[in-house]
Structures are given as structure tokens and as C-alpha cells.
Amino acid sequence: MIIDGKKISQEIKSEVQLAVQKMKAEGRQVPGLAFILVGENPASQSYVKSKGKACEETGFYSVTERVPETISEAELLAMVDRCNKDPKIHGLLVQLPLPKHIDEQKVIEAISPAKDVDGFHPQNVGKMMIGIDTFYSCTPYGIVELLKRYKINPSGKHVVVVGRSNIVGKPIANMLLQKKEWANAIVTVAHTAAKDLSVYTRQADILIAAIGRAHAITKDMVKSGAVVIDVGINRIEDATAKNGTRLVGDVDFENVKEIASAITPVPGGVGPMTIAMLLMNTLKAAGGKVQTPVPRSD
């Protein structure tokens, strides 16, 4: 089974759009999301453009502040403070990475936890770890939502997460081990310090690859019948492609799909879910709510 993140993300956007329309009909303020984009990084520009488009499609109020790479840390922190105080803004996102002269952690901690729709603030990370409802980091949140909508219940299953980043590996491990619905898994976190990653990956009922290395997970590393979630986005050379490159995941999709019971493709798997969950977090920050969706049957 191919887990179609593109399709699920569209479903979520439709649900968010309906919730926003309900807020408007009730005379309530629509969700507002601010983006701060520092410098000219092409990937960052593309991400922010996609997020802004999603806001437009769902009826959000959004604003993008573009500033030069030479902006001082103090000036950037002042911008964050202004957004924190703006009642039209419910969610604030400072696009990472930032220039080297700016302390990323200081900027993350300057964002109000009540507007931290990226789920990166230590206060929200702490709440997630001890099982208090909060804003969840968008990519792991998207993984949980994919499992839920495809009725792949991790309860009692052995989940192996390959990768330990603050954005994906650590939060998804913590989210899935919580004692609650659509979690309650036995979780192992493996990473590059392992002499042989396959010792761990072959034990996984659900394998989550988030190491940022093209085709690092091969067929012989996956147990037959496992669910495979590929978070990686890697650009590799491909002479047959129009621009000479193509996007691939951390998993050797073509070979692993032969033995996996379910797998996410790249592109079109976890990627589209990140923006969808950003919208969900911002809707939540604004006091809106989607109707509880019924998990998919296919």
C-alpha cells in the first residue's frame, strides 16, 4: 500500500478551510500566520512561498516579512517581539536555517510559546515529552496523522526511528511512546553511531527513516511486512531528468516497496503533510477546530 501524503494533506487543508469558514460565519477572527524570511536561500524561499499559498487557499490571514541576510540578531529579535504582540498573528514562523551570526536557539526561544506553531520552543517540546497537549513539530505530527488516517495503529508495535534530530527523530520517538491513542509504541531510536544499523531496522514493525542520506535504507535492512515511513528529501544526479537531478528519500523505494506492507513515496509522502500540520497548529492557536475526521478505510 502506498501511503499518499499528498492526498491526505489535501483532505486536511479542506477540513481546515471549512473550520475557517465557520469562524468567519460566527464573526470570529480568522487564523493569522506570520513568516520571517532572512536572506535569499532558494530552498527557504520556496518553502515560505508554499506555506503562504496554503494560507491563501484555506482563508488564513498571512504576512511574509523578507529581510536581508545582514540583519542583526537584535533587529530580528525585535521583529519577533512585534509579531508576538500583534493580535492578528496567531502563529509565527522564522524560517530556518538562519545566517551564522544569528543564534537560532535564541530566536526560537524568543517566539511566544502560544504562537510557536512550528513546535520548536523548549516549553512546547517539554509539554510534548510529558504528554501534555501542545503544538507538535509539524513533520512528526504529519507522520502520526498519516498512520491514523491509514488505520496503522502503532500501539504495541516496535517502532524504529533512524535519526535523532530535534525536528523529526526525537519528537516522533516521544510522540509515539506516549500512553495514549495512536501512540503507545515500543520505540527504538537508532542513528549513525550504530556499527550496523540493520540490526535495529530489521526489528521494526514500523520503520521511520530520517537521516538525510539518499537510499540509506535498503531492502535487506527491512523486515517483510513492515510499514516504512520515509522522511528524507535528497537531491541526486539523474541524467534522464530535465534539470539533471531528482528527489529521492532515505529509503530505496523501488526495492523496499516489494516487501513493505505500506510505504510513503518521496516526493508525495511525508513532505506535503508538514504544511498541512502547520495549518492545523495555527488553526488551534486561533481557537479554531476541525471536525474529527474518520480514519481512511483503504
**Residue 85: CATH number of its domain:** 3.40.50.10860
| Residue 176 located in a structural domain | yes
Residues 158 and 261 in one domain: yes
**Residue 234: CATH number of its domain:** 3.40.50.720
Instruction: Tell me what the mean pLDDT of segment 237-242 comes to.
Output: 83
> Does residue 51 have an active-site annotation?
yes
C-alpha cell at 37: 524570511
Instruction: Tell me what the mean pLDDT of segment 229-243 comes to.
Output: 88
Instruction: Tell me what the mean pLDDT of segment 4-18 comes to.
Output: 97
**CA–CA dist 112, 107 (Å, integer):** 10
Residues 149 and 262 in one domain: yes
> Looking at residue 235, what is its pLDDT?
87
> Looking at residue 32, what is its pLDDT?
98
Residues 166 and 253 in one domain: yes
Catalytic residue among 51, 115, 170, 284: 51
Residue 78 belongs to domain spanning = 24-114
**CA–CA dist 261, 2 (Å, integer):** 9
Catalytic residue among 4, 13, 116, 118: 118
pLDDT digits (tens, 9 = 90+) for 135-179: 999 999 999 999 999 999 999 999 999 999 999 999 999 999 999
**CA–CA dist 200, 229 (Å, integer):** 15
pLDDT digits (tens, 9 = 90+) for 250-298: 999 999 999 999 999 999 999 999 999 999 999 999 999 887 665 554 5
Calculate Rg over the CA atoms of the chain: 19
| C-alpha pair distances (Å), 9 with each of 25, 44, 136, 256 | 24, 20, 16, 24
Close Cβ partners of 276 (under 8 Å, ≥ 6 residues apart)? 8, 9, 12, 13, 16, 54, 142, 145
- Whether residue 245 has pLDDT greater than 90: no
**CA–CA dist 222, 139 (Å, integer):** 22
CB hemisphere CA count around 254 (13 angstroms): 3
Residue 189 β-bridge partners: 161
> Looking at residue 297, what is its pLDDT?
47
Residues 144 and 79 in one domain: no
Catalytic residue among 4, 13, 95, 252: 95
pLDDT digits (tens, 9 = 90+) for 38-93: 999 888 999 999 999 999 999 999 999 999 999 999 999 999 999 999 999 999 99
